Amino acid sequence: MGDPNALTNIDWANLSNWLTMYWIYFPVVIVFAFTVMIAHAFIPSAVQTGHLPPAFERLRWPLTIFALLTLALAVVLMTFIIMLSPHMLGNIYDRFLV
């Protein structure tokens, strides 16, 4: 590893773009997790214990489809984050294979 260098204006702009994409990515992942948890943990448990009527079981498929769409959005966002500035990864981690 070489000596660390000061960040240039371009590096700061790239870091700003990364942070913006991560702040968009974070709530998408949270929405995905809570949707899956509601569809596959809370609803079946509440229906089985009698706290919800059996008609709520029909909500599982729409919630699962919504969760899959948010997962696809999260994958696309992470791909954009990685492709946004691939040379920045080389500046931060100059040795990929140790």
pLDDT tens-digit readout, 50-70: 999 999 999 999 999 999 999
pLDDT at 1 over 60: no
Task: Tell me whether residue 5 is in a domain.
Answer: no
Mean pLDDT of 4-20: 81
Q: In this model, does residue 24 exceed pLDDT 90?
A: yes
Task: Please report whether residue 26 resides in a domain.
Answer: yes
38 domain residue, yes or no: yes
Let me know: does 46 contact 56? Beta carbons within 8 Å.
yes
Q: Is residue 68 part of a domain?
A: yes
**Domain carrying residue 72:** 10-89
In a domain, 75, yes or no: yes
Using a 10 angstrom Cβ sphere, with 0-12 exposed, 13-18 middle and 19 or more buried, the burial of residue 78 is middle
Residue 97 lies in a domain: no
SS3 50: coil
The H or E element that residue 23 is part of is: helix 9-37
Gap between the terminal Cα atoms of the chain? 11
Q: pLDDT category, 19, cuts 50, 70, 90?
A: confident
pLDDT at 44: 96
Angstrom distance (rounded) from CA 26 to CA 32: 10
Q: Give the confidence band of 34 by pLDDT, cuts at 50, 70, 90.
A: very high
> Is the whole model's pTM more than 0.85, yes or no?
no
Please indicate, yes or no, if residue 96 is contained in any of the structural domains: no
Domain for residue 19, yes or no? Answer: yes
Dist CA 80 CA 40 (whole Å): 29
Number of domains into which the chain is organized = 1
